[in-house]
Structure 1
């Protein structure tokens, strides 16, 4: 099966999934596929690449934090079943991707099930792991696992449970996956353990999960959760524990420093003071309700986000990062080719002109005596033209190779385009040196992309009609 056929099969599978799970996203999917066709013709995407693989189509809620912070217990309580192992020590050293299944029996599948499926947010993550830890990409099953669960709470979304930050030795690859999770997630729940009120010992975790995220455009998707807060009930002043963590967050740059405070009632310590117990429970119920509300809202958030990503992909393709940059590389190529032509060809042109004039004089007689009367001045000109043409294409090739080496290869980041591939396609020997537009960027393609960009408002209005009633 060809690469393009495999790509079509994957996007067809995605379309089938969306028809069942979220029909609202079928229209953006169709526009992404149109962008794919344009980018393929231009060489900005390989035939087996797609904008669709860089969009997480399922809403994603990730849980990050230190080991024993209660992430697994929270997941089990949320799902209403014991799916994740729990314990005071690091009990799982892999990222768990949890999704809905109609089968009553839960299943655990290897990481390769995620790496090869376009619908999941870890499609081709093995390549990212390989980039930061050579040789680790083929050990994808050591980093990821897929778990299925027959819980209505998980229908239509994905939960990502991370291993504790200080629980594994394969740190570079783990942080790479964590960064990928943060980028793809609609909601990030960052758990800390109230039983360990020494936040200074977790400076590395605070650095990666707080300092590195507070200046993000999507910083509002982070919720900081202080778990097992019931263990502080025996303190003279339980609020001191919360204050210590607030100071830790402030030192990491998060000046607001507000925690949601929760605990698992089934595993909670008994609080002898009934009024204190009631106060702890009321606060816990309030904060868990807030977490559940945010988790439920990701399904709506995802639909709007995909529409924004669609527009972002079109902007990237048509803007300075795509066509604009490709044009600048082509302009540099033309300028450099003309400079090389001048340096190499001008002396030869002058010499050929002199030879042509000379060839009609004394020299022609000598040539005719040697070769007979079969050689004329036009033959010499023809030979000169061939030589000049060869030298010109040498100039083109030399200039193209020099510029192509300086173009950064495509990355795995969202909507990263393969400008090197597209540049090579536009500098092949049969392409004109003064073509006004890159290959594939014709008037129909430009109109198609402009139409996709203009569709954002229409799609957002349709989503608003589904979820709101602005007219009352």
Structure 2
């Protein structure tokens, strides 16, 4: 545990050294994450080898989703200026490909374990997450992920993820789990559709996952919806009908606002004989491509806001969800323990009185005197007997505590599944219900004025960071 904790702190120190030159605002964010970690350590909500800072990617992240044969790989190759990804009319790759910059001229392809075992990348320990939704599939991580390097200047300082094509009927649970994880972490998500399929209504399930499930998100602005390979519609009498059909389908899926792009790759475009139509298509394509590329180049800015937002969310959820949930679990445990203790004590007293009255009635001896004489006649005497009773009562009490704690855990686990609070709430609950923790303690260990003040300081640092970022691009004071 100590070695892994030291390795974590070393990684955070290296991140701080990098950000000190690259982005001082995010350097302060790392330090705020450390402060939040210390609170979680004190309360037992996190192990020393864990950190909130490692739960988010610190590199700008662009994800590219789409249907089969939507031209995702061709789009990536054209953007990078290299034929890095295989492309074709059929599905040519069924794995998520994480593309990163490398100064080497030769591109290298590495297996999924390279991503699963490296905390610097957004798929660190993804095998565990896959196992949670598809038992046993985590061991086959190489069939889900791969890492590719590329010497392209457009890739400097960012990561691009190419996803396998979406076919909702054939998607495996593990693939959908990775896709959702990828979407959550991304600063920009490009969703590509294939203009060569003029009946988008047949893709209702796919549209639901790519559109209907994304527009409700608080970060819906990071999604760009793109109708690709529009050159295939140039031969139609009215190519605008193709775009209109897709707009209707996406509108039916719930997207009624926002920009819808129409593009195609110039390198593999179908020749458009009509010069007027060709110029019109090229003009619209270039305008939309330039807008898309501009957003892709701005992910560095969006990355900074995302990380500050993640820090604020972690601190807010910690105090709003994790701590109250832990407090409620402890209240339930305390109530069940004391109630059971009282019932057992009352039962013991009642049983003792009944036996005493029966003995008095049947044998005709005096109630108090006879029982005292009987106890005194025992080899250990009255004082030892009282000690024995006390020891027995303590053993019963600690057994009741343990059983009460175990009875609360199923309820606590359901609450965690419903709200997904940050930190290990069950581990903290177990630590707070160990035998040396007083049952009358009204708050979790480590929670108090100093802890609340530390969380307030983290939230204040978030506000200051956002203001600093805003001042780079705006001047509210005129």
Tell which deviates more after alignment, 72-81 or 435-444: 435-444
Normalising by structure 2, report the TM-score. 0.91
Q: Distance in 2 between matches of 1:221 and 1:469?
A: 24
The equivalent residue for 1:432 is 438
The equivalent residue for 1:87 is 88
Instruction: For 1:36-185, list aligned pairs within 5 A.
Output: 36-166=37-167, 171-185=172-186
412 and 54 in structure 1: CA distance in 2 versus 1, 3 angstrom threshold: farther
Q: Deviations over 1:365-408 (max 9, x none)?
A: 4555564xxx5543332222222212211221111110023221
Q: CA RMSD in A?
A: 2.6
* 8 Å Cα contact 1:42/1:439 also seen in 2: yes
The equivalent residue for 2:323 is 323
Q: Deviations over 1:256-301 (max 9, x none)?
A: 4853111111211222222211111111111011101111222111
Q: Distance in 2 between matches of 1:257 and 1:446?
A: 40
Instruction: For 1:52-451, list aligned pairs within 5 A.
Output: 52-166=53-167, 171-256=172-257, 259-319=260-320, 321-349=321-349, 361-368=369-376, 371=379, 376-408=381-413, 416-451=422-457
Alignment length, in residue pairs?
Answer: 468
Q: Distance in 2 between matches of 1:414 and 1:26?
A: 27
440 and 355 in structure 1: CA distance in 2 versus 1, 3 angstrom threshold: farther
Following superposition, the deviation at residue 350 of structure 1 comes to: 6.3
Q: Distance in 2 between matches of 1:393 and 1:471?
A: 64
* 8 Å Cα contact 1:247/1:257 also seen in 2: no
Q: Distance in 1 between matches of 2:451 and 2:242?
A: 59
Residue 471, structure 1, aligned to residue 451, structure 2: no
* 8 Å Cα contact 1:72/1:84 also seen in 2: yes
Following superposition, the deviation at residue 166 of structure 1 comes to: 3.0
* 8 Å Cα contact 2:33/2:311 also seen in 1: yes
Following superposition, the deviation at residue 97 of structure 1 comes to: 0.8
Tell which deviates more after alignment, 461-470 or 120-129: 461-470
413 and 263 in structure 1: CA distance in 2 versus 1, 3 angstrom threshold: farther
Q: Distance in 2 between matches of 1:388 and 1:61?
A: 62
* 8 Å Cα contact 1:10/1:118 also seen in 2: no
Following superposition, the deviation at residue 436 of structure 1 comes to: 2.5
* 8 Å Cα contact 1:352/1:384 also seen in 2: no
SS at 1:340 equivalent = helix
Following superposition, the deviation at residue 164 of structure 1 comes to: 1.0
SS at 2:298 equivalent = helix
Structure 2: unaligned runs, 5 residues or longer? 357-365
SS at 1:215 equivalent = coil
Structure 1: unaligned runs, 5 residues or longer? none
Q: Distance in 2 between matches of 1:448 and 1:353?
A: 55
63 and 296 in structure 1: CA distance in 2 versus 1, 3 angstrom threshold: same
Q: Distance in 1 between matches of 2:113 and 2:144?
A: 10
Q: Distance in 2 between matches of 1:419 and 1:28?
A: 24
SS at 1:188 equivalent = strand
280 and 365 in structure 1: CA distance in 2 versus 1, 3 angstrom threshold: closer
Following superposition, the deviation at residue 362 of structure 1 comes to: 3.7
Tell which deviates more after alignment, 45-54 or 321-330: 45-54
Normalising by structure 1, report the TM-score. 0.92
79 and 340 in structure 1: CA distance in 2 versus 1, 3 angstrom threshold: same
* 8 Å Cα contact 1:93/1:167 also seen in 2: no
Q: Distance in 1 between matches of 2:255 and 2:199?
A: 17
The equivalent residue for 2:363 is none
Tell which deviates more after alignment, 390-399 or 378-387: 378-387
Q: Distance in 2 between matches of 1:261 and 1:159?
A: 21
Following superposition, the deviation at residue 327 of structure 1 comes to: 0.6
Q: Deviations over 1:383-439 (max 9, x none)?
A: 222222122112211111100232218679976322111111000001011112211
Q: Distance in 2 between matches of 1:29 and 1:288?
A: 35
Q: Deviations over 1:67-108 (max 9, x none)?
A: 221111111111122211111111111111111222232221
* 8 Å Cα contact 1:210/1:249 also seen in 2: yes
294 and 413 in structure 1: CA distance in 2 versus 1, 3 angstrom threshold: farther
Q: Distance in 2 between matches of 1:207 and 1:168?
A: 12
Following superposition, the deviation at residue 250 of structure 1 comes to: 1.9
